[in-house]
């Protein structure tokens, strides 16, 4: 019933997390991934009200992530924190971090509540751990991003570590979404308020 929504959410997060570049152009921009996330959340919105709430940050992410279509020619690293590191781009990337935290929080809270209702304590505990780790890692990224902007040339290693951390936490979230689709994707749980 809801499994298709979880699949779209998983695929959308995968496309938003991993870049497919040719030269300076990102052929599958993050915004396409976030559009798939919004579609998946639209399907899931009738399963739980938190999926409906998650659509707002996902929609803003689809718009803000348009900046990832083009990469600066001198960028040697994965584009999550590199490329044009202007103050405006840095502020936009900080907004993207905050919106991603909101998205992950709402989705994980929905999964946690559905699992609690269905008696699936293992998945519930994993989703709870993922949301806590995601928030903690995002705080580190939020603090380190302006530092990396101010010291661009001196701390490229920190940028690489931040990129790996960002990919890692997104993969953890994608795993939970995939497990939820397999475990509770057919649950008729309905906690939505129109």
Beta-bridged to residue 26, according to DSSP, are 21
Q: What is the 3-state secondary structure (H, E, C) of 18-76?
A: CCCEECCEECCCHHHHHHHHHHHHHHHCCCEHHHHHHHHHHHHHHHHHHHHHECCCCCC
The dihedral through the CA atoms of 82, 37, 11, 169 has a sign that is positive
pLDDT in tens, the chain (194 residues): 799 999 999 999 999 998 776 766 677 888 899 999 999 999 999 999 999 999 999 999 999 887 666 555 544 434 444 444 567 777 888 899 999 999 999 999 999 999 999 999 999 999 999 999 999 999 988 888 777 766 665 566 777 787 888 899 999 999 999 999 999 988 877 765 44
Host domain of residue 160: 3-184
Residue 161 lies in a domain: yes
Residue 175 lies in a domain: yes
Alpha carbons 81 and 5: distance in angstroms, whole number: 29
Residue 138 lies in a domain: yes
Count of domains for the chain:
1
Half-sphere exposure of 130 (CA within 13 A, CB side): 27
Residue 194 lies in a domain: no
Q: Characterize the bridge pairing of strands 25-26 and 21-22.
A: antiparallel
Residue 100 lies in a domain: yes
Q: What is the pLDDT of residue 43?
A: 95
Helix, strand, coil percentages in the chain from 3-state DSSP, rounded to 5: 75, 5, 25
Backbone angles phi, psi at 14, to 5 degrees: -65, -45
Alpha carbons 82 and 163: distance in angstroms, whole number: 9
Residue 189 lies in a domain: no
> Most distant CA pair in the chain: distance in Å?
53
Residue 192 lies in a domain: no
Provide the token pair at 2: 């809801």
Provide the token pair at 120: 């699936």
Residue 140 lies in a domain: yes
């Amino acid at each position: 019933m809801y499994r298709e929504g979880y699949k779209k959410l998983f695929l959308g997060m995968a496309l938003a997390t991993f870049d497919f570049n040719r030269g300076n152009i990102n052929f599958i921009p993050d915004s396409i991934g976030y559009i798939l996330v919004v579609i998946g959340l639209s399907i899931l919105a009738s399963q739980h009200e938190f999926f409906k709430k998650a659509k707002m940050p996902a929609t803003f992410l689809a718009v803000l992530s348009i900046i990832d279509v083009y990469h600066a020619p001198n960028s040697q690293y994965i584009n999550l924190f590199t490329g044009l590191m202007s103050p405006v781009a840095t502020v936009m990337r900080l907004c993207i971090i905050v919106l991603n935290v909101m998205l992950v929080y709402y989705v994980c809270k929905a999964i946690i509540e559905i699992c609690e209702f269905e008696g699936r304590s293992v998945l519930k505990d994993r989703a709870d751990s993922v949301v806590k780790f995601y928030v903690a890692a995002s705080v580190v990224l939020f603090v380190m991003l302006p530092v990396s902007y101010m010291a661009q040339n001196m701390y490229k290693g920190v940028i690489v570590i931040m990129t790996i951390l960002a990919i890692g936490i997104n993969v953890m979230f994608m795993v939970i979404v995939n497990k939820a689709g397999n475990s509770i994707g057919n649950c008729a749980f309905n906690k939505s308020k129109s």
